[in-house]
Structure 1
């Protein structure tokens, strides 16, 4: 699975992968993984908060 690259959480909560992952250099992969991890956390936090608010409504 690592060869496919990191899972990306999209704004709507769907999941995808980075299409050109195999073509990236090791350094690009490291940077991309860090950025994706941070963005995924932010998006998941927003999605969870929105789900909580929908439950309250």
Structure 2
């Protein structure tokens, strides 16, 4: 462990995960970015298909 006297996980008694409670926000943001990428990609492919034919 960097900056602490703890030598093993057995000695950890408190919260050691700093991101606790914010997972829902990051999950929602990740889902939104994936959906946006899919929508934009589909629009681009549809436009490219129309131009080629």
Q: Which has the larger radius of gyration?
A: 2
TM-score between both structures, scaled by the size of structure 2: 0.51
Q: How does 1:14-33 map to 2 (within 5 A)?
A: 26-33=22-29
| Count of aligned pairs between the two proteins | 33
Between Structure 1 and Structure 2, the one with more strand by share is 1
Q: RMSD of the TM alignment (CA)?
A: 1.6
TM-score between both structures, scaled by the size of structure 1: 0.48
Report the CA distance between 1:32 and its aligned residue: 0.5
Q: Which runs of 5+ in 2 are unaligned?
A: 1-20
Q: Deviations over 1:6-35 (max 9, x none)?
A: xxxxxxxxxxxxxxxxxxx74322111000
* Partner Cα separation in structure 2 for residue 40 and residue 28 of structure 1: 18
* Partner Cα separation in structure 1 for residue 43 and residue 29 of structure 2: 21
Report the CA distance between 1:51 and its aligned residue: 0.4
Q: Which runs of 5+ in 1 are unaligned?
A: 1-24
Moved over 2 A (4+): 25-28
